[in-house]
Amino acid sequence: MREIEFRAWLKNRKKMRIVCAIDFSSNEVDCSGNDEYVGWYGLNEYELMQWTGLKDINGTKIFEGDIVEIWYNFENEYFEEKTLHSRGVIKFDKGMFEVKFEGYNYYINADGLTLEVIGNIYENPELLEV
């Protein structure tokens, strides 16, 4: 069975929390954080992010909205092998998780792609600034 996990960015509290339960009938999430009970939050109070099912090179779970360092090794007709280093954001699009960098979208489980989570778009937006 595929493991599914969510986290939520609580907009007013400016805190990332683990989602314990989701009530789809009322669009509310029940959150906890750092061994404390946080409570239920309504649809306009949070941004929901799903775990991709993958971990980075350090064993950290990769979620939507994570900012990642990317190393991409590839071969083509011009290069025997090249390593590209960049940063990108994890997104869910067209039924798959992907990372956009250098103007391209790559599925996060693509061959030659190595990821390291360095932050997320809510707590560390400065990491995306040029």
pLDDT at 47: 94
What pLDDT sits at residue 120? 97
DSSP string, 96-115: EEEEEETTEEEETT-TTEEE
What's the pTM value of the predicted model, to 2 decimals?
Answer: 0.85
pLDDT in tens, 14-47: 999 999 999 999 989 998 876 666 789 998 899 9
Token pair listed for 73: 């090794």
Taking 90 as the threshold, does the pLDDT of residue 116 lie above it?
yes
What does the pLDDT read at residue 125?
93
